[in-house]
Chain A
Amino acid sequence: GQNIDQPTEMTATEGAIVQINCTYQTSGFNGLFWYQQHAGEAPTFLSYNVLDGLEEKGRFSSFLSRSKGYSYLLLKELQMKDSASYLCAILDSNYQLIWGAGTKLIIKP
């Protein structure tokens, strides 16, 4: 079966660092995407990993370990505008995205 696990909710402080984990078991793997979704809005693309390792993009970094079925999104120097849900999605063997339920990140001043 297909299974993607993310924590439901996390809280962090403005200026700090937070790591959002995603573990998966899917039929095939052709890449992993992270999206940001503010309340009431559409998801927006953050990062894509297909090989093991860390991809850095400004304040956001994403890590992938295919052998462990594990990824994380690292957000540095948190800002209030980073309050949003973060969605992990796996590109399966048919090149369709399988979506996690998302992690709601709450930033406190």
Chain B
Amino acid sequence: SQTIHQWPATLVQPVGSPLSLECTVEGTSNPNLYWYRQAAGRGLQLLFYSVGIGQISSEVPQNLSASRPQDRQFILSSKKLLLSDSGFYLCAWSVNPENQPQHFGDGTRLSIL
């Protein structure tokens, strides 16, 4: 069966520090991968998605970047965090976005001080 691992679960970082969140999927090949951010009381905001290795689409211009160095690995990064980067970050995968659901990792709660 397929599983998704996302870490760390919580992270407290100072403003201006770098960020690296990692997500890996097991049990499937060539999944579509997604990074979302969820602010309190708000809907999920799609940040990046990837249909294959090295293929990244950005939905919202911002302080973050994403990379997919391997088929089942998706990384969210920042060189300098802003206060507004605080939130709940979720990684998700789907085998067929046309009619299959996305499945989420446990999420990372990021607090910027």
Contact = CB atoms under 8 A, between A and B. Distances in A.
Interface of A: 4, 8, 30-31, 33, 40-45, 48, 50, 87, 89, 91, 95-97, 99-102
A42 B106 contact: yes
Return the 3 tightest CB-CB contacts between A and B, nearest first.
Answer: A99-B43, A42-B104, A45-B101
A8 to B, nearest CB: 8
Main secondary structure of the interface of B (DSSP, over half): loop
A30 to B, nearest CB: 7
A4 B99 contact: no
Interface in B95-113: 97-99, 101-107, 109
B106 A95 contact: no
A101 B42 contact: yes
A48 B99 contact: yes
Contact of A99 (B44, B49, B98): B44
